[in-house]
Amino acid sequence: MFISKLRLVLIILLFPFVSLSADTFKDNLHLAGLANIFVFAADNGVDSDPMPIIPSLGFSAGWQFMNFLRLELTEDIYIQNYELNVKHGYPMACNPENRSALVIGFVTGIQLTGVIPVKDKGIQMRVYGGPAADIRIVLLAAGLNHKDDFSGKIENDAQLQTNAISEYFWNEARWFMPTAGFGMDFPLTDKILLGFDIRAWFPVYKLWAEDNTPAIDGWRFGAGLRITPRKKTGTSQQTSAQD
């Protein structure tokens, strides 16, 4: 079941790249490494731990199909512990001591990116937005061996909670989270651009999903750094910025 859902998500997100020729794609491909801090917004009061602020690593691959436009694939990977709010029936991010499940998230996005060079300074600005999916692998947290961790009751059974957490995240398209952001790149050397990004992910599933979560729950925000190799040739804004 999980593999089928994962395959469907990847097909939806990667479809725009299918028709691109290999030569054209390679000549206009822009790669970058990403390092971010994610904020998972939540407001569960005394029922939960503070909202998590966690590191993430990833990459981007942008195909430049017009002078100032790219079709960009981004992948951000994070790891976070979760427990189940049994009272209200939804997962909450938590500290390790309260964990039931370990979630490895692959935040996969396809966005249209506008790149605006700042002439005579070698700087470029980026504005982007598009669909994204949080492809979560939900595992039973390691190190749980006390008899109370597997009592057979949903209130404190880690395996039952893990199953419920996985079902919740994959039901009602809760994996679908469009994103938008802004960034700038600066010439660090002749071969490297060092940039920053500020992003947000929108829990649009709350429009149709039957949730008892607080209004802020599900929103995500990110800020981080981007390292991009500079291209010497090609239809790139980096060439224009170096003029």
The domain that holds 113 is classified in CATH as 2.40.160.20
Query: Which percentage of the chain shows pLDDT scores above 70?
Result: 82
Domain presence at residue 236: yes
Instruction: Decide if 69 is inside a domain.
Output: yes
Q: Who's near 106: CB < 8 A, 6+ residues apart?
A: 75, 76, 77, 134, 135, 136, 137
Does a structural domain hold residue 160? Answer: yes
* Residue 136 within a domain: yes
Residue 223 lies in a domain: yes
Query: According to the model, what pLDDT value does residue 221 have?
Result: 98
Predicted model pTM: 0.83
Residue 146 has pLDDT above 70, yes or no: no
Q: Is 165 inside a domain boundary?
A: yes
C-alpha torsion sign, points 110, 106, 216, 199:
negative
C-alpha 149/C-alpha 144 separation (Å) is 6
- Looking at the domain assignment, is residue 66 inside a domain? yes
Residue type, 39: V
Q: What is the mean pLDDT of the chain?
A: 86
State the total domains in the chain.
1
Amino acid 194: pLDDT? 97
Structural domain harbouring 221: 2-13+29-242
